[in-house]
Amino acid sequence: MFKLKNWVLTILMVLSATLGGTKAYIDYLLRQELNTSIQAVANKVNVDYADIRTSWLGSVILKNLDLTLLNNDESLHIDTIHLQKAYQFYELTQWPTDIQVSLKNLQYAIKDTSSPPPIIVTSLGYAPYYLTAKELRSLGYLNLNADIDIKVKTSSEKVSITSMITAPAWGNFNFILELNHLPPPQQWTTAALKSVQLIDLKFSYRDNEFFNRVFTWLAQRNKMTLVDFKQTLITQLSKDLSSTQVEIGSNVLNPLLQFIQNPRQLTLSLRPDLPIVIEALWQVPLKQLGLTITTDSLSSVESNAFYGNQPGENDVC
């Protein structure tokens, strides 16, 4: 019995060493593959990272990724990128059934510039409502900081994409998109993408006092009270949208104006009666697209429909 116990312990030790060595080798290959990809774009963007590794549960974890565009010095930093079930991507001829990606502490620096309003903004009379990057920084918004969680579910030719963006200083964003006939990325061609159909689109934004701060700043810049500023914007927007050739119902316009008056929650939903080819969206009347805009709060079911557990919550590296 004593000898058997020793043999079992020896076998377990050998297996542990083998698995550890296998994981180390896979991590090495992963780094080599990433470095090769980085070299392929080295003339356009500078890419740096601290570490990339796999977990025992099949995830890939990338640490401290820094991207800098060489032509304008714009930079992006991400503390952690976590791709669950990465083994699903070894065969890209078909969609993985369940994709979960988590980006933690994404940081994008707001440039200290005062570019004039775009010509179209000025020509439409909305220059008084335009905020420059420099003015945004003066309000304390030096960086865009956010956590992003993305979940993709696939079944036959249907793809459902759900995304949650948490940016404490800017607000929270929720995005739900359902598509038909979306081919796997390896099969993306102009012809193949023309057959993609929209089933459902929902975008929701929950403000965290961002809009009120911006409106207050713009009101002061235009030497107006906040109440008068909002009313002026509402009046102009109502007039312009009512005079367009596109028929916009009160069920769309009123919630938008209510949000300006009291910016808390805004939800936009697009759900045609039947799935519609993406290319045809601009040719179909809004009524047929099932467009609705509401200022109601996102239901608890929708706001929790993203993940039971956040990506990587139970992963062991």
Q: For the residues of 276-287, what is the DSSP string, one character each?
A: EEGGGGGGS-HH
- Please give the angle made by the CA atoms of 291, 307 and 301, to the nearest 5 degrees: 50
The pLDDT of residue 21 is: 42
For 39, residues 6+ apart whose C-beta sits below 8 A from its C-beta are: none
What is the distance between the alpha carbons of residues 71 and 47, in angstroms, rounded to a whole number? 14
Are 82 and 88 in contact, with CB atoms under 8 Å apart? no
Write out pLDDT tens, residues 100-150.
899 999 999 998 888 889 999 999 999 999 999 999 999 999 999 999 999
CB 89 within 8 A of CB 111: no
pLDDT computed for residue 251 by the predictor: 82
Segments of the chain scoring below 70 in pLDDT: 1-30, 34, 56-57, 86-94, 245, 296-317
Q: What is the pLDDT of residue 198?
A: 94
What pLDDT shows up at residue 307?
40
Separation between Cα atoms, residue 227 and residue 287, nearest integer Å: 33
- The string of pLDDT tens digits covering residues 282-297 is 888 777 888 889 996 4
Question: What pLDDT, on the 0 to 100 scale, is given for residue 14?
Answer: 35
SS3 (DSSP) at 293:
strand
Per-residue pLDDT at 236 = 93
pLDDT of residue 93: 64
Q: Output the pLDDT for position 89.
A: 63
